[in-house]
Amino acid sequence: MFVLCSCGQRHWGRYGAAGLLLTDPLRTGVLLQKRSVHVHTGGTWSVPGGAIERGEGPVDAALREAHEEAGLRAQDLAVSRTVVGTDHGTWSYTYVIAEAPRPERAELRSAGATSWEADRTTWVDLDLVDSYRLHPGLREVWPRLREELLGG
């Protein structure tokens, strides 16, 4: 459900939203998803994520969404911390930083095999993230998230 935020924009998720920022232990890359044209800001790249459900916290929401959209299993991920990327008071987006070994094959699933919400899910070298057509929310906070990854 879209909500009208105090910032004057519409955002997805009555209780806010969260996404999984998955990296490998050596911080060589992150997992990104190309959003389907069927969703808000389709055709852009972001992290697996979505609306926080009633009674759910950001970590549980991000892990649930990552499973639904990319087939990731919570037990295979090591959650390290959360970073609030956007906070408008009435709505916020939280990035859940987690680690998992980077697979040899970059793409996790073939297009459309996991979820109608995403076209592709692939590992992207950390230095190449800026070259992708990022979701506006991720583009805005990426420099800070990159510092979090490299400094943490």
Domain spans in the chain, listed from the N-terminal domain onward: 2-151
pTM of the full predicted structure? 0.84
Q: Does residue 112 surpass a pLDDT of 50?
A: no
User: How many whole angstroms separate alpha carbon 43 and alpha carbon 142?
Assistant: 18
Q: How far is CA 105 from the centre of its chain?
A: 20
Third-level CATH fold of 2-151 = Nucleoside Triphosphate Pyrophosphohydrolase (3.90.79)
- Residue 90: in which H helix or E strand, if any? none
Q: How far is CA 113 from the centre of its chain?
A: 18
Q: What are phi and psi of 48, to 5 degrees?
A: -60, 130
Which whole number is the average pLDDT over 112-135? 83
Q: What is the pLDDT of residues 54-89, one digit of tens each?
A: 999 999 999 999 998 888 999 999 999 999 887 767
